[in-house]
Amino acid sequence: MQDGRNRRARQAAVIIDRFLTGRLSAAMAAVVFVGLLAGLLAGFLAAQSTPAAKKPPADLNQLMRGIFFLHSNVVFATQRLDPADVKWTSEPSASTDPLTGVFGNWEAVENSALMLTEAADLLMTPGRTCANGRDVPLAKPEWVQLVNQLREAGMVAYKAAQSKNRDNMIKASDVLNQSCVDCHNKYRPRAIANRCQQ
């Protein structure tokens, strides 16, 4: 795009030079100059326009089931077991349970907590819908607050996992659970048809 603009600018300079030296009529110079100026303006506007946002492929329910449910459960599992005691599966690189995989044990808890924190941004993606087709209420202050609450809960869980202290994890699990409950009470009634209405 830059080369095209530079080429048009050089052409305009040549035309102006020919006009000033009398080698191009005023009418012809005006027509050519306006054409070049229009081309420059069109190129500039095209460079400034942003493409329309694509609708995210996953709806809110799919995000919950694919990311948040899985990684919350890794954090919640620390209430009943010590991640350091969890044995790897016979084929850890193929494990579907983060605790028993190659990056298992406490590292899995840390990673899951960070995933909850990072994935909170996905809850704010424009165009995302709920399972019933309604738009996720991105503009509602309560929604933004609940997403931030989840993000903060993920960080609380991450810091607790770094301590490798199960008492800290029980407290962090309570914080995470409360963030889930607060959001579900407001935006996730049992009937799918009624979700995201608040």
pLDDT at position 189 over 80: no
Structure tokens at 133: 């087709």
> Mapping DSSP to helix (H, G, I), strand (E, B) and coil, where does residue 71 land?
helix
> What percent of the chain has a predicted confidence (pLDDT) above 70?
75
Cα 34 to Cα 14: distance, rounded to the nearest angstrom: 14
pLDDT at position 148 over 80: yes
pLDDT tens-digit series, residues 15-64: 666 666 766 566 666 666 666 566 666 666 666 666 666 899 999 999 99
According to the model, what pLDDT value does residue 19 have? 62
**163-190 residues labelled b (16+ CB within 10 A) or e (exposed):** ebebebbeebbebbeebbebbeebbbee
DSSP, res 137: -
- On whether residue 54 sits in a domain, the answer given is no
Q: Are residues 41 and 109 in the same domain?
A: no
Q: Give the helix/strand (H/E) hosting 177.
A: helix 166-187
**30-55 residues labelled b (16+ CB within 10 A) or e (exposed):** eebbeebeebbeeeeeeeeeeeeeee
pLDDT tens-digit series, residues 1-17: 556 667 766 776 776 66
Q: Are residues 18 and 103 in the same domain?
A: no
Tell me if 45 sits within 8 A of 70, measured CB to CB.
no
- Alpha-carbon dihedral of residues 140, 155, 77, 101, nearest 10 degrees? 110
**Range of the structural domain that residue 161 is part of:** 60-194
pLDDT at position 99 over 90: yes
According to the model, what pLDDT value does residue 142 have? 95
Quick one: how far is CA 46 from the chain centroid? Answer: 26
pLDDT at position 96 over 60: yes
pTM over 0.95: no
Q: Are residues 133 and 158 in the same domain?
A: yes
Q: Are residues 67 and 158 in the same domain?
A: yes
- On whether residue 96 sits in a domain, the answer given is yes
